[in-house]
A and B are shown apart, each in its own frame.
Chain A
Amino acid sequence: SQQGEEDPQALSIQEGENATMNCSYKTSINNLQWYRQNSGRGLVHLILIRSNEREKHSGRLRVTLDTSKKSSSLLITASRAADTASYFCATKAAGNKLTFGGGTRVLVKP
Chain B
Amino acid sequence: AAGVIQSPRHLIKEKRETATLKCYPIPRHDTVYWYQQGPGQDPQFLISFYEKMQSDKGSIPDRFSAQQFSDYHSELNMSSLELGDSALYFCASSPADLRGGGTYEQYFGPGTRLTVT
Most buried by B among A98, A101, A103: A98
Provided the pairs A42-B90, A97-B33, A100-B44 are in contact, do residues A51 and B102 lie with their beta carbons within 8 angstroms?
Answer: yes
Are the C-beta atoms of B111 and A41 separated by less than 8 Å?
yes
Q: Tell whether A48 is near chain B: CB-to-CB under 8 Å.
A: yes
- The distance in angstroms between the C-alpha atoms of A41 and B112, with both chains bound, is 9
Are the C-beta atoms of A102 and B111 separated by less than 8 Å?
no
Are the C-beta atoms of B102 and A50 separated by less than 8 Å?
yes
Are the C-beta atoms of B33 and A101 separated by less than 8 Å?
no
Q: Which of B42, B92, B101 is the one whose CB lies under 8 Å from A102?
A: B42
Report chain B residues within 8 Å CB of A90: 43
Q: Tell whether B86 is near chain A: CB-to-CB under 8 Å.
A: no
Report chain B residues within 8 Å CB of A41: 110-111
Are the C-beta atoms of B48 and A96 separated by less than 8 Å?
yes
Are the C-beta atoms of A96 and B50 separated by less than 8 Å?
yes
- The distance in angstroms between the C-alpha atoms of A88 and B56, with both chains bound, is 21
Q: Tell whether B117 is near chain A: CB-to-CB under 8 Å.
A: no
Interface residues of B (CB under 8 A from A): 31, 33, 35, 42-45, 48, 50, 55-56, 58, 88, 90, 92, 97, 100-103, 105-111, 113
Between A and B, 17 residue pairs with Cβ closer than 8 Å are A31-B102, A33-B105, A33-B106, A40-B88, A42-B90, A42-B109, A43-B92, A45-B105, A45-B108, A88-B43, A96-B50, A96-B56, A96-B97, A97-B58, A98-B45, A100-B35, A100-B42
